[in-house]
Amino acid sequence: MNPIKHVAIIMDGNGRWGLRYRNSRNLGHRAGLETVENIIKQTLKKKIKFLTLYAFSTENWRRPKKEIVFLFKLLEEFLTKKINELHNKGIKLKIIGNKKAFSKKLNKILTNSERKTQKNKSLQLNLALNYGSKAELINAVNLTIKKKKHVNEKNIENNLYTNDSPDPDLLIRTGNTNRLSNFLLWQTAYSEIFFVRKLWPDFKTKDYNKILLKFKRIKRNFGNI
Ligand code: IPE
Ligand code: IPE
Ligand code: MG
C-alpha cells in the first residue's frame, strides 16, 4: 500500500455549478468553500501531512473584474473567520504564488495567517494564489543563478515555492476537464493523476476517500519495473 504524504487538488467547476444551481458563478465559488473545509478536515483525519489547493492561477486575471473581486473577498472572509480554527487544528498555512499583485490589506491578512500558524505540525496547507508553474520555474532558475549555484534539479527544487513540501503523490482535478492549467508542472512529474467528473461543490468526502484508496493500490514504478 502506497503511503500518502501530499495531495494536490485543482478545485475546478465552481462557476458551472453556480450557474446551474444558483444562476450565479459567484455563488458557485461560495459553495465550493464548503468542499474546501470538508476536504481539509478529511485530509487531517487521514493524517496526510501536505495538501496543496489551487485557488487562483496567474491566468485567472483574465476573468471579469466582478468575479475576481468576489473571489478575493471570499478569501479574505474565509481567513478572517477561520484562521483561529485552522490554527487550533494544528494547520500550517503557506501561500504559494506571487503575492505582489494583492492589495495591502490582503497581503497583511495572508502574512499574519502564515505567521500565526508557522509552527503548526499536523498539516501544511499550501494555498496556490496567483500561482503559475511557469512563473514559479522562471523565478527558481533566476534565484539559483543569483545565488551563484549550478542550475541542477536539487537547486531548482530548493528555490521553488514548494521547497518545503515533498512532491505530490496524487493530483486530483474536479470539474470534468483533463488538463493541468499551469499547476505544479515540475512537482507532478511522477504524481498519480485523477480527473474527476464532478464539479468541485459536488465533490464529497466519500469521493475523496475512494480516490485515496485507489491510489494506495497503484504500482508506482518511477522508471523502474
Ligand atoms: C474554480 O472553478 C476555479 C477558480 C478559478 C476559483 P471555475 O471558476 O474555473 O469553475 P468553472 O470551470 O468555470 O466551472
Ligand atoms: C484552474 O482552473 C485554476 C484553478 C482551479 C484555480 P481554470 O478553470 O482556471 O482552468 P482553465 O482555464 O479551464 O484551464
Ligand atoms: Mg474552470
Quickly state the pLDDT bin for 126 (edges 50, 70, 90).
very high
What does DSSP assign to residue 67?
Answer: H
What local confidence, expressed as pLDDT, does residue 17 receive? Answer: 99
Phi and psi torsions of 98, nearest 5°: -95, 105
Quickly state the pLDDT bin for 81 (edges 50, 70, 90).
very high
* Closest residue CA from atom 10 of ligand 2: 181
Q: Which residues surround ligand 3, an ion (CB under 5 A)?
A: 12
Spell out a b/e string for 128-162, using b for 16 or more CB atoms within 10 Å of the CB, else e: bbbbbbebbeeebeeebeeeeeeeeeebbeebbbb
For residues 152 and 146, what is the distance between their CA atoms, to the nearest angstrom?
Answer: 14
* Closest residue CA from atom 13 of ligand 2: 181
What local confidence, expressed as pLDDT, does residue 50 receive? Answer: 99
What local confidence, expressed as pLDDT, does residue 180 receive? Answer: 98
Quickly state the pLDDT bin for 73 (edges 50, 70, 90).
very high
Quickly state the pLDDT bin for 30 (edges 50, 70, 90).
very high
Q: What is the pTM for the complete model shown? A: 0.98
* 107 Cβ inside 6 Å of ligand 1: no
* Closest residue CA from atom 8 of ligand 2: 12
pLDDT by residue (tens digit) across 162-216? 999 999 999 999 999 999 999 999 999 999 999 999 999 999 999 999 999 999 9
What local confidence, expressed as pLDDT, does residue 63 receive? Answer: 98
What local confidence, expressed as pLDDT, does residue 160 receive? Answer: 98
pLDDT by residue (tens digit) across 135-148? 999 999 999 999 99
Q: Which of 9, 11, 12 to mutate to test the pocket of ligand 1 (most atoms within 8 A of CB)?
A: 12
What local confidence, expressed as pLDDT, does residue 27 receive? Answer: 98
